[in-house]
Chain A
């Protein structure tokens, strides 16, 4: 995270994630009896995408903003790759942490290329290298530099703007990214597409990402792990999506998961309905095509695998959760049509 190796950041290989540790993190605002965030301990492995999910006002955004010190903690410590974040100069620190917000926050008076180039320019990259990086990032998020680089944010659609927001956060190839409900302001269809693209991107980049949302479906879809937060940012459960779905730690998590509805749906459908990829390795845990999704999930959790074999094909957890969502959508349509 030092400036000396800033030149190395634009390698095509890219900087992968670094570990984030929060220890006893607390934020107390003057004049308020209760702390907004109380004594949070969290260890995020390098390269993992961790979703903070919880109701509004639970302190999830406050917790996230303490990591790049937009909010200064009252006590506790934060380490990224073992380095004490609170000992760094905040502006320097933030130049090495990608940041995406719900309002996107592209600067309307700057072109797309200028918006993406801000952080590399702050880091004093040579002009040519900045231009190359901008082109590379536009390609990465699926936009054509010759068409979009010289346009202004207001000339783009909401979905395109959000892609630029992500590209800007990735500009200096930071090991860590913070994302505050980044897809929250887009329509449902665009949101699904942005989520899919983002997952594909993250598989390639392996950044360490803290992703804040109040949408549990989004958390399931995107998270390597999910931290379900309750008031004062207390961690009710911190686990993989599969484990949280199968074994909610308590009533609170269960209610947040949507409790029975989702679990029932898991029991209503069979894995045979999912089209798996052929060529399952022999050592993969398997279930029969007639097994319910619930049973399949149990096997995944029990064997600590995010994939299982069904009749020789591979079914992943992502496909399983997609099937639940699809079933959910069908149910809703039928309910609407019935009225």
Chain B
């Protein structure tokens, strides 16, 4: 059976796995964005704290994903929870760092003007600083997404969702019928998802960045 035939005959299974893959990545990036932007907002003007936050999230990135997922099994069990916790951890660095860099890049005159005409500190953050830093923050979110699409495949090791199951399954049975096709289909799926996510971010970037920043 050729790869195309394999994909055609197992389309339901593969598309289901791809959908789960997208879901687990989107969920993880979503949670990481809330936490990461929050940490960035709270620490960007305190160099010591933002240093600690960036150091911790980059430290997390150095833990091999295979080992980390394995270590999570006794604590969080198999499946979605372990996967999502690990992926959120791996997403943190680009989001936190870009939030800090983006907010620091906002002209101090913007903040002064906002405060000077009577906006509250929170109002200035929400309506001035975050929108101006948004293109930089969004780039961080995009980099995180690209990173964890690959890592999410490894989640199959802890019985997590996604295309990793195809890859692990294929590699475990290498030499037997359709083993190579399964591994290839899984890998190809991950690559296609990565490209689709990138396209999605291009659209999001266009829709969420003020025209005033692009002129």
Chain A residues packing against B (C-beta within 8 Å): 68, 70, 91-96, 99, 101, 103-111, 118-119, 122, 152-155, 168-169, 178
Give Cα distance in the complex from A296 to B116, angstroms.
42
Interface size on B, residues (CB 8 A): 21
Is A153 a contact partner of B212 (Cβ separation < 8 A)? yes
When distances are taken between beta carbons in the complex, the residues of chain A under 8 Å from B109 are 101, 103-105
Most A CB contacts (10 A, CB to CB) among B110, B112, B113, B115 go to B113
15 inter-chain pairs at a CB distance below 8 angstroms, sorted by A residue, are A70-B115, A103-B112, A105-B110, A105-B112, A105-B116, A106-B113, A107-B113, A107-B128, A109-B132, A118-B117, A119-B118, A152-B212, A153-B212, A169-B117, A178-B116
Interchain nearest-CB distance for B128 vs A (Å): 6
Is B107 a contact partner of A95 (Cβ separation < 8 A)? no
Is B120 a contact partner of A91 (Cβ separation < 8 A)? yes
- Assess A152 versus B215: contact at CB under 8 Å? Given A99-B113, A107-B110, A109-B210: yes
- Assess A95 versus B118: contact at CB under 8 Å? Given A101-B109, A105-B109: yes
The B45-64 residues at the A interface (CB cut-off 8 A) are none
Give Cα distance in the complex from A169 to B128, angstroms.
17
Give Cα distance in the complex from A90 to B120, angstroms.
9
Q: Which residue of B lies closest to A110 (CB)?
A: B212
Complex partner residue of A95 from B117, B210, B211, B212, CB under 8 angstroms: B117
Is B116 a contact partner of A68 (Cβ separation < 8 A)? yes
Is A108 a contact partner of B132 (Cβ separation < 8 A)? yes
Give Cα distance in the complex from A178 to B128, angstroms.
22
Q: Mark B120-157, 1 if CB is under 8 A from A, else 0.
A: 10010000100110000000000000000000000000
Q: Which residue of A lies closest to B107 (CB)?
A: A103
- Assess A101 versus B116: contact at CB under 8 Å? Given A108-B213, A109-B132, A109-B210: yes
Is A111 a contact partner of B116 (Cβ separation < 8 A)? no
Interchain nearest-CB distance for A51 vs B (Å): 19
Give Cα distance in the complex from A93 to B115, angstroms.
11
Interchain nearest-CB distance for A77 vs B (Å): 21
Known interface pairs A95-B118, A103-B112; 19 further A-B residue pairs with C-beta atoms within 8 A, sorted by A's residue number: A91-B118, A91-B119, A91-B120, A94-B116, A94-B117, A99-B113, A104-B113, A105-B113, A105-B116, A106-B113, A107-B114, A107-B132, A108-B132, A109-B213, A110-B210, A118-B117, A119-B118, A155-B215, A169-B117
Q: Which residue of B lies closest to A65 (CB)?
A: B116
Q: Which residue of B lies closest to A112 (CB)?
A: B212
Give Cα distance in the complex from A152 to B132, angstroms.
14
Interchain nearest-CB distance for A194 vs B (Å): 18
Give Cα distance in the complex from A154 to B132, angstroms.
14
9 A-B pairs with least C-beta separation? A105-B113, A152-B212, A95-B118, A109-B210, A103-B109, A94-B118, A99-B116, A105-B109, A109-B212
Is A94 a contact partner of B211 (Cβ separation < 8 A)? no
Interchain nearest-CB distance for A71 vs B (Å): 11
Interchain nearest-CB distance for B136 vs A (Å): 13
Interchain nearest-CB distance for A130 vs B (Å): 14
Interchain nearest-CB distance for A168 vs B (Å): 7
Give Cα distance in the complex from A107 to B107, angstroms.
10
Q: Which residue of A lies closest to B213 (CB)?
A: A109
Interchain nearest-CB distance for B135 vs A (Å): 10
When distances are taken between beta carbons in the complex, the residues of chain A under 8 Å from B213 are 108-109
Interchain nearest-CB distance for A210 vs B (Å): 13
Is B117 a contact partner of A99 (Cβ separation < 8 A)? yes
Interchain nearest-CB distance for B49 vs A (Å): 21
When distances are taken between beta carbons in the complex, the residues of chain A under 8 Å from B123 are 122
Most B CB contacts (10 A, CB to CB) among A68, A93, A108 go to A108
Is B119 a contact partner of A111 (Cβ separation < 8 A)? no
Q: Which residue of B lies closest to A94 (CB)?
A: B118
- Assess A111 versus B112: contact at CB under 8 Å? Given A99-B117, A103-B107: no
Is A70 a contact partner of B116 (Cβ separation < 8 A)? yes
Most A CB contacts (10 A, CB to CB) among B109, B117, B119 go to B117
Is B117 a contact partner of A168 (Cβ separation < 8 A)? yes
Is A109 a contact partner of B116 (Cβ separation < 8 A)? no
Q: Which residue of B lies closest to A107 (CB)?
A: B128
When distances are taken between beta carbons in the complex, the residues of chain A under 8 Å from B211 are 152
Interchain nearest-CB distance for A323 vs B (Å): 36
Give Cα distance in the complex from A157 to B113, angstroms.
19
Interchain nearest-CB distance for A134 vs B (Å): 15
